[in-house]
Each structure stands twice: as C-alpha cells, then as structure tokens.
A and B are shown apart, each in its own frame.
Chain A
C-alpha cells in the first residue's frame, strides 16, 4: 500500500503549549481517511502543517514520498484543500473565483473544467452570482468545486459538511464518495459527525492532545472498544484525559 502522506515524530509547539506531540501517521493512497479528535486535539494544526502553512517545530512531513517544505510548489499543485472556515472572496462572482483559482493551479481548458465541475456539484446556476450572496450549502459546493479544479491526487477536507442541513450534507457525501471512486482521489477528512465518518471513511485516525490515540477501520475501532458505534468510541477517547 502506497502512502500519500507520512508524518514522522511531528511536533508543533506554540510557546509552552504543545499542539501536536510526536505524531507519526500514514494516509494511504486512494482511500478516505478520517482525522478525528475533540476540539483542540491538533487536527487543524496537523492539516495546516501538511499544507506548509504552519512550520513544524520538529519532525518530518512527506507527501507523495517527498519532503513537503522542500517540494512545496510541486506538491501543492497536486493537492487541494477545502474548509467552510476558509472563505473565497465574497466580492467576486463564483465564476471569477473559480477562474482565479483555475489559473493559480495552471488548469489548461479553464471554461470546460469549470463547466464540467459545475454540473457535477450542481452549481451552474450560481456561476454568475456574487459569492457573498450564497447560502452555506451553496458555498460548500462552490468550495468543493474549487477543491477539484486541479484534479487533485490528494484532498484535505476540514469539516467539509459542517453547518450543512442533513439533506445537503448527505448529497455532498454522496458526491464526494462518487468522485473519489471515479478518480481515485486520496482524501483526508475531518468531521465531528461520526455517522458521516462511518458512512464515508475507509480508515479512522484518532488524535487527542496532539498525540495519536487509535487507528483502524471504523468497524475495527467499534469492535476494539466494544461499543455500538463510532460516536461512543469518540466519547471514550475524548474523555480519557478527564479520568
């Protein structure tokens, strides 16, 4: 099995606070892997280190087998990122935003690519609208369209379905699953919705207080902890330190 992401002894300290503590993990190619943990567990910091937005205090990050920082442009051109907490400029239309990012990623036939993805994510009717006028659900679909513009081999999705109603969230998961299967995209996914994780993810990595706690398939983890679902597993791991 090929790993698209490997971290070795990754540490990130902000002053005295250790956000990520000796984290070594592997993300396998062609799978959807969940990175789970309670608030403040170190998920976002880990993802931002993988994106070279935050500099690790120590340790190593390899993506597609190459050290991230030294090969930043080559690696970033083959991956993409989406989070509802990172906005596209609201003062541009959806089309202008998508064209801008298509150009940044060096997409060849920009119009064709945007139209193809607009049909996929059902946003064709939004292309001429101002991004600031979109609803949360529409914004999520536009963000996902942006994330697929460069046909990424690896996608980092930080709480991609947060603030979506159950209907839109379900549609988004189905589209993600479909596009992942069709294009063999590796996805690293964070979410606090454990039902979603059970439905979507091939593998789960739990972290808490910046440390790796558990990893395995959702079924393996449920069995290992003797619980009925992943939500209970999450609660047990999250509350370990309270005991």
Chain B
C-alpha cells in the first residue's frame, strides 16, 4: 500500500469542496435540516407525555446514528461516482494505483466527511435540544465503528454493482441504504417488528447499535456480546464486499468495460 498515492486520491476529492456549494451543503446544511426536523418532533412528543421513557434522547440518538450510517455510505459511493461521472477511471488505473489504495482513499474521504458532519450535528443537538451524541459514553466508539463498517460494506456493494452495470445502476448509491432502515430497528425495538423478520434484523449490524443505544438510554446498560456480535458481523460484511468488489473489478477488466461505465 502506497500512502502517497492514497493521499493523492484523497486530495483530488478535497479540492472539490473549495468551490462547490452543493458539496458544502451535504456537509453542513442537510444534516442540520434532518436534526431540526426530527429534533422538533421529538420535543413535541416529549411534551405530549409518554412518561418514564426518555423519548428525546432515544429519537435524537436514533436519527443521529442513522445519519452517520446514511452519510458514510453516501460519501463513499459519491466519491466513487465522481470518477465515473468525470470519466477519470482510466486515468487513475493506468497510473500505478492498486484497487486497495483506491478503496482506502474512498474510506478515508468518507471518514473525513463523517467527522465534519458529526461536529455539526453535535453542536446543533447540544445547542437546541441539550442532547449529546456522546451521552452513550464508552459505547460511542464501538457504535460508530459498527455503523461505519456496515455503511462501507453497503457502499462497496453499490460501487461493485455500478462498476459491473454502469451508471444505470447509480440510483442504488442513494437508495439502497433505506432498504435496511425498517429492519435495523432505528426508531423502534426489534420486538415491534413481525416475528418473521426478526432473523433479518439480527443479520444487520446496525440493529445491535440501535437496540444497544435504546437499552443504554432507558436502562443504563448494554449487552456486551451484542456489541461484539455487531462488530464481527460488520467486519464480515466488509471483507465479503471487498472480495465482491475485487471480483467485479476483475470481471470488468475481462469485459473491457472500465471505459464504458457511463453507458
């Protein structure tokens, strides 16, 4: 792995943020809009009762962690799509860039973006609702790690499909994540879902984060084995998706489609 080349790929995308209002809005505006919408709903629900449960923290925690997973996969997929839209793939891969370096740069860019988004939504949540994203304490790090790994595995799947089928499949980059939302028990416990879909829920690493977050806020405890299970599951998905991406890349090379991804 050559870190100079990874750095080059990262900086190439950071250049774009200097003068692109839509990209800056992705970082600073839309996450705030989400937090405002859900935050005020939460304040309202808190006022109309439901005594005993910490509705504000539960909902705000859910939306904050969901934003992280959504934005991470979105950032990774859009970073990839930038090179597809700009027909820059051939230039990159006739340079001595490895697929692993390309994917590492994509993950780093998504990390940078999530870091900035987290700063913004932490400040807004604290200022408007007195809610701290860090209120989950020491579990913050494993929760975030599980969500980002899972988001990256979804992004890798999206990238693989776009690589294979071209830009006609690019709507996946923005839409696929929402398929996982109802099964991840973001706003309600898994027990609220029909029993038949419980196995699907427990196959999603994100479920363990949202269940854990609710346990922590309402009962002050998290089952440690659930955290480990979520981490192992998300790592497995990342490894599987890296293998899937590598296979798709090899297939695209056999079919000579690297230049034709926009068709």
- Write the residues of chain A forming the contact surface with B, with a CB cutoff of 8 angstroms: 12, 14, 45, 48, 51-55, 72-74, 76-77, 80-81, 85-93, 96, 99-101, 103-106, 146
Contacts and interface: CB of A to CB of B under 8 A. Distances in A.
B7 A103 contact: yes
B210 to A, nearest CB: 37
Interface in B96-121: 96-98
Given A53-B253, A103-B7, A87 B95 contact: no
17 contacts: A53-B94, A55-B254, A76-B95, A77-B96, A80-B94, A86-B259, A87-B86, A87-B88, A87-B91, A91-B16, A96-B15, A100-B11, A104-B5, A104-B9, A104-B95, A104-B96, A105-B95
A106 B93 CA distance: 15
A211 B117 CA distance: 56
Interface string B236-258: 00000000000000100111101
B250 A55 contact: yes
A103 B11 contact: yes
Q: Sort A-B residue pairs by CB-CB distance and give the 5 closest, nearest first.
A: A103-B8, A89-B86, A73-B96, A76-B96, A104-B95
B92 interface: yes
A92 B14 CA distance: 10
Contacts, number: 87
B86 A96 contact: no
A51 B11 CA distance: 25
Contacts of A72: 96
A81 B94 contact: yes
Interface string B1-36: 010110111011001100010000000000000000
Given A14-B255, A14-B256, A104-B95, A53 B12 contact: no
Contact of A89 (B88, B95, B259): B88
Contacts of B90: 53, 81, 86
Contacts of B98: 73
B198 interface: no
Contacts of A77: 96
B253 A55 contact: yes
Interface residues of B, number: 32
Contacts of B9: 100, 104
Contacts of A91: 16, 20, 86
Given A73-B98, A76-B96, A86 B253 contact: no
Interface core residue of B86, B96, B253 (most chain A CB under 10 Å): B96
Nearest to A51: B94
Contact of A92 (B12, B96, B259): B12
Nearest to A54: B256
A166 to B, nearest CB: 27
A88 B89 CA distance: 9
A202 B60 CA distance: 71
Contacts of A103: 4-5, 7-8, 11
Contacts of B15: 92-93, 96, 100
A96 B11 CA distance: 9
Given A87-B88, A92-B16, A100 B8 contact: yes
B11 A104 contact: no
A72 B15 CA distance: 28
A104 B4 CA distance: 7
A205 to B, nearest CB: 21
A103 B6 CA distance: 9
Contacts of B95: 76, 101, 104-105
A104 B97 contact: yes
Contacts of A90: 86
Contacts of A85: 259
Of the listed residues B4, B20, B82, the one surrounded by the most CB atoms of chain A closer than 10 A to its CB is B4
Contacts of B5: 103-104, 106
Contacts of B87: 86-87
B26 to A, nearest CB: 15
